[in-house]
Amino acid sequence: LNDVNVSTAFSKLGKLCSSRSFPRNIAADDRFRGLTVLARDMCADGRLQAQAVANITHAVGKMSAAGKLAANDADVQDTLAALEGRVVLVASHMNPQNVSNTAYAFAALGRMPGAETRAALEAAVVRVGPDMKPQETANAAWGFATLGWEPGAEARAALEAAVERVAPDMTAQAVANTLWSVLSLAATRAVPLPACYPSLWQAACGFEERSFNRVEISMLFHAHLIHTELV
Sign of the Cα torsion 179, 183, 188, 190 reads positive
pLDDT at residue 71, rounded to an integer: 84
Q: What does pLDDT average to over the chain?
A: 96
pLDDT at residue 146, rounded to an integer: 97
Which one-letter amino acid corresponds to residue 194? P
- Residues 193-216 have a mean pLDDT of 94
Would you say residue 190 has pLDDT above 90? yes
User: The pTM is what?
Assistant: 0.93
**How confident is residue 72, by pLDDT bands cut at 50, 70 and 90?**
confident
Specify the DSSP element, H or E, that contains 226: helix 214-230
**How confident is residue 224, by pLDDT bands cut at 50, 70 and 90?**
very high
Could you tell me the maximum CA-CA distance found in the chain, to the nearest angstrom?
Answer: 54
Give tens-digit pLDDT for 114-169.
999 999 999 999 999 999 999 999 999 999 999 999 999 999 999 999 999 999 99
Would you say residue 231 has pLDDT above 90? no
> Quick count: other Cβ atoms within 10 Å of Cβ 152?
14
> Quick count: other Cβ atoms within 10 Å of Cβ 204?
21
Q: Are 52 and 3 in contact (CB under 8 A)?
A: yes
Specify the DSSP element, H or E, that contains 177: helix 172-189
For a pLDDT cut of 70, what percent of the chain falls above it? 100
Would you say residue 191 has pLDDT above 90? yes
- Residues 218-226 have a mean pLDDT of 96
Burial of 99 (0-12, 13-18, 19+ CB in 10 A): buried
Torsion angle in degrees (nearest 10) through CA of 134, 230, 223, 69:
90
Would you say residue 19 has pLDDT above 90? yes
Alpha helices, DSSP H only, in 66-171? 74-90, 96-109, 115-128, 134-147, 153-166
User: What interhelical angle do 30-44 and 74-90 show, nearest 10?
Assistant: 30
